[in-house]
Chains A and B, each alone.
Chain A
């Protein structure tokens, strides 16, 4: 461990026939850190993770995982990492504890599987076969399988995709605890909130390329010093708001219900906007000054077109 990075990817290219899934991507992840790969569907997130796990071969570029080349997923390397594949994986008829015990048996000093089942809220479905579990339960079992072997590095591919809010917070608590204990975590997500809540570093990818990288703070503050954002019911008449704003300020509605005021934002401008909202009888919600949400950054960079 120590100074050696957990994952180091340089200029990764992955092509399938004529399609380029990953096109010159760089990543760095150190122990005790959480890296979130953020991107729309088809951006190349899963492909990148699978190359790092050693399950997919690369066309070119260099990949070092825990100091080794992961190609072919050698056993010794697999033992040191925990993998939560997208969509999970188990015998269709197996029970939660049986599956977890099987995965635990592959490791030398696994966590207590009974405790994990309990902690991840899976005790209530202990008797059900895997195929009868809800999506969220399957996902929590998959997470348990990823962490049971006390890995140094964990890959979580969309770990909270089908979880309810409680389940999501449980997973977040677990990821934070792993990070605090020195585990390196590489996760993919398309929930901005998840990346903002968990990640030390966020890498936004689109069409297989990094379009932005940095801490959530860096990504959300850069280039946004002179804006104020708030949410309110959609369709307000902003001509009236512009009348009360000082010279040089302009308001506009982005996605319905998302308002932006640009210009130098000082306490007077803030007060003017909220007072105006109050006169309209609406509550300005989620007010942010000089800071975009990661979602704003994401949509700015990757566009608003729907991906399949």
Chain B
């Protein structure tokens, strides 16, 4: 493994690369890694798909308004955002930190805000794939979308991805990787069943039904079901998602550890 190097091979010629290229390559890498990771795919695509089919076809599972496929699509889109933005993002960041990625990137000329932007870019690419795949399967199951509901639904998906993404960065960027793994998975399970995603808020017992409306899971799922069933989102849902996104984002920016 001995090598001879031509004179001038390492002659210094440094310079900061193009920001756009940094962002493009970073986003591409993040996307590739998210799609290559089978456990993440299970969380982000397989489980939402299975749930979409199950909720639509198995009427006894959960009480849903007709047309069931519209409500089910709302449910699984909310789940998909939680999976990608929160659980998957937090775990990936936690382990990237453990493997010294942040220290490695901090030593290059890439600005820190771009590192975060690249991560969000990768997340956005996964969200697009999720929305396309889940919508296509919903169409096959009989979903008939109308123009107005799609616009509202996309807005809510965007806000939901932002709110969960900020929470994911907050958790993954501040705690030890093995702890991130536990917390991110437990929260995912809890919110899935009693956070307003699978079981709608009005079917949850007592105070819980009120509380979940203020969680990003409840606000997003309730909002999405409402607009996909032909209604408009409550202003409350939009505000809840905005507040979670802004607060978690600000705290994450302060607590994100670069080692």
Contacts and interface: CB of A to CB of B under 8 A. Distances in A.
B17 A91 contact: no
B15 A152 contact: no
B2 A173 contact: yes
A10 interface: no
A265 to B, nearest CB: 36
Contacts of A222: none
Interface in A55-107: 55, 73, 75-76, 78-81, 83, 85, 87-94, 98-99, 101-107
Contact of A150 (B13, B36, B108, B111): B13
B18 to A, nearest CB: 8
A88 B106 CA distance: 12
B10 A147 contact: yes
Given A108-B16, A178-B10, A181-B12, A149 B100 contact: no
B193 interface: no
Given A149-B108, A169-B2, A91 B96 contact: yes
Given A108-B17, A170-B1, A73 B106 contact: yes
A102 B29 contact: yes
B102 to A, nearest CB: 8
Interface string B1-30: 111110111111111111001101110010
A182 interface: yes
A1 B96 CA distance: 36
Contacts of B21: 105
Contacts of A134: none
B152 interface: no
Interface string A160-198: 000000110110011001101111000000000000000
B46 interface: no
Interface size class of B (residues with CB under 8 A): 35 or more
Given A105-B17, A109-B13, A149 B109 contact: yes
A92 to B, nearest CB: 5
B99 A92 contact: yes
A290 interface: no
Contacts of B3: 119, 170, 173-174
B187 interface: no
A182 B107 contact: no
A149 B14 contact: yes
Interface residues of A, number: 57
A110 B12 CA distance: 10
Interface in B75-128: 95-96, 98-111
Contacts of A178: 10
B46 to A, nearest CB: 18
A158 interface: no
A194 B223 CA distance: 64
A53 B8 CA distance: 25
A73 B107 CA distance: 8
B10 A89 contact: no
Contact of A145 (B4, B8, B16, B104): B104
Nearest to A84: B107
A243 B18 CA distance: 75
Contact of B109 (A79, A111, A173): A79
A170 B24 CA distance: 33
B26 to A, nearest CB: 6
A262 to B, nearest CB: 39
Contacts of B108: 78, 103, 106-107, 145, 149
A259 interface: no
Nearest to A141: B104
A147 B10 CA distance: 8
Contact of A79 (B4, B8, B14, B99): B14
Given A146-B107, A173-B2, A177-B7, 4 more contacts: A101-B25, A106-B109, A109-B13, A149-B108
Interface of B: 1-5, 7-18, 21-22, 24-26, 29, 32-33, 36-37, 95-96, 98-111
